[in-house]
Chains A and B, each alone.
Chain A
Amino acid sequence: MDVSIKILVVDDFATMRRIVKNVLKQIGFTNITEADDGTTALEQLKSGSFDLIISDWNMPKMTGLDLLKTVRGMDEYKNIPFLMVTAEAQKQNVVEAVQAGVSNYVVKPFTADQLTEKLEKILG
């Protein structure tokens, strides 16, 4: 994996952003930006240039699913790897995310190894 890539971690809970960031750092990633909602994530995406989005689903102002759909409609990010990391794990959730173009899906709770494996699958 190319650990120099720029990653956006999106979750309304700082706890989860911290846990995801810790795993990313363990792998060797250092260029990590955080956002606390889909709306702030969009602002970050518009003002920066990112290579990977890791996002929660349930967030107050803009859900991860809506963020995914919006991102897939943006020329710069239509093919960006998008990893959903969420406690929403019912069949319909996964179907909706796949239909919206998610790259992979991690269900909370997860281990560091599980997150790493999913990242390896989408980043190569």
Chain B
Amino acid sequence: MDASLINPFINATITVLDTMAFTKCRADKPYLKKDDRAKGDVTGVIGITGDANGTVSVTFDEASILKIVSNMFGEEMTALEGEVSDAVGEITNMISGNARRELEEKGKLFHAAVPSVISGKNHIIKHYTDGPKIAIPFEAEGGTFTIEVCLEQ
């Protein structure tokens, strides 16, 4: 998968978290992920269609998402449930939308569905296609999270 498809998701993530959660984050080196196990405690998944079909997921560890949502709300969040899970869905939605806008500027058109959220230790992320899973690890204040982009070949 070429970098021109991945970089918009990195840029979108940095923009969304900085703007909505006043949170700086940094992407580490992307890698090819071989298994389905989530790299964290809660995942937002969104299906995308268009110039290619597939799914994008955002998995947060508990520490990072509690810090991010606390910043978004201006109120300390202490449990990974309810409002925090809901926020994961909206963050996923915004990252998807922002990335798709940048992809459009590169001549690639994608549409997205409504995201869903999965949580629990060691949960599995089932991407919709069997294409390669590119994982982009991030470091943020308070913890880590991982974006996965899986598009059909």
Contact = CB atoms under 8 A, between A and B. Distances in A.
Q: Do A and B bind each other?
A: yes
Given A86-B97, A87-B94, A90-B104, 11 more contacts: A14-B86, A18-B73, A22-B73, A89-B100, A89-B101, A90-B109, A108-B20, A108-B93, A109-B15, A109-B98, A111-B19
Interface in B1-45: 15-16, 19-20
B104 A16 contact: no
B145 to A, nearest CB: 16
Contacts of A60: 114
Interface string A66-91: 00000000000000000000111111
Given A15-B86, A15-B87, A109 B93 contact: no
Contact of B89 (A13, A22, A86, A88): A13
A58 interface: yes
Interface residues on A, range: 20 to 34
A59 interface: yes
A76 B15 CA distance: 39
15 contacts: A13-B86, A13-B89, A15-B72, A18-B83, A19-B73, A22-B73, A58-B93, A88-B97, A89-B101, A90-B101, A90-B109, A108-B20, A108-B97, A109-B16, A110-B20
Interface of A: 12-16, 18-19, 22, 58-60, 86-91, 107-111
Contact of A109 (B19, B83, B113): B19
Nearest to A13: B90
A109 B20 CA distance: 6
A13 B100 CA distance: 20
A87 B97 contact: yes
Interface in B106-128: 109, 112-114
